[in-house]
Every structure is written in structure tokens, then in C-alpha cells.
Amino acid sequence: MKWFNNYYRPMPSPAIGFGLEPVDTSIPLIYGWAIHEALAEYYRSGFVDGFDTGIRDIAQGSKKLIAALESRRAENPDGVEKIFSKCEGLFVRYAEYDEVEKDVLRILSDSNGEPLIECEYEIELGYKNFIFTTRFDVIC
């Protein structure tokens, strides 16, 4: 019972009755969300008037990463502390790799001049009510 009270709690739901809800948000979810937030900010930093200049600001992305992790700290305080340096390391490595390709790849924009970053799409599959959904990090 102590384990249950420490790690899970009952979650009432009108649809399914009682289920289980984790007390903390899992670290992989926070980690992935924070990295995506930082990369989106990093990519946007190179956009001027609907055009990708190819000059992106790693520091701006790093600030966003820190802010993103801090905003989720209450959901898993110990876990966020443990992943801080790993998150920053992954983001910097990703951005450094992007620096190699920035002269070749340009981020596209939509008809309003908005960069195609973290775009969500839904496609009806034509079978029952099935829908395929996807979210692209960036479209070049």
C-alpha cells in the first residue's frame, strides 16, 4: 500500500471508472518535450521576414531549453535535476550538427511567412474513422 500511495493514486474517470495515474510525469516525456521546444526556438532564431538566413543562435535555443525544463520541474523535481546536463548536451550536439548542413538545407515557410517548424498534419485514411497524424520537427 505504501508503494501505491507513493507512486500511484486513484484517478476517477466517468468513462472508465477508477484507473491509475502516475504521481510524476516521466522523465523521457519531459526530456523529449524540452528538446523539441529548444530546437524549435533554435530554428526560429534564423528566420527573418519569412526567410531562413541559415544563421541560427545556439544560445537562444539553450535559454529556451532551460526555461522549458524549469517550467516542468514541479512535475518531477528529482528527475529534471538529473537530466539537465544531458538535455543541454544533446541539444548542443544537435545544433552543432545542424551547423554543418545549414548552408545546404533551408527551412521552408508557409504562405504567411511562418516557418514550418513543429507542424502537425492529419490525413484521413479512408478506412472507418482512422486518421494518420504526424508532427514534423522541421520541413526543409
For the chain, 140 residues long, give each residue's pLDDT as a single digit of tens. 455 545 555 555 444 445 556 667 888 888 999 999 999 999 999 888 888 888 899 999 999 999 999 998 888 888 888 888 888 899 998 888 887 777 778 888 888 888 999 989 899 999 998 999 998 888 88
Task: Write out the three cell numbers for 16.
Answer: 472508465
d(CA 140, CA 125): 25
Q: What is the pTM of this model?
A: 0.75
At 7 the pLDDT is: 52
Q: Which of 33, 30, 23, 39 is nearest to 79 (CA)?
A: 30
DSSP 109: B
Cβ partners under 8 Å of residue 117, min gap 6? 40, 43, 44, 107, 137, 138, 139
Domain boundaries, the chain: 2-138
Q: Which of 53, 50, 51 is nearest to 102 (CA)?
A: 53
Q: Which of 18, 21, 28, 17 is nearest to 5 (CA)?
A: 21
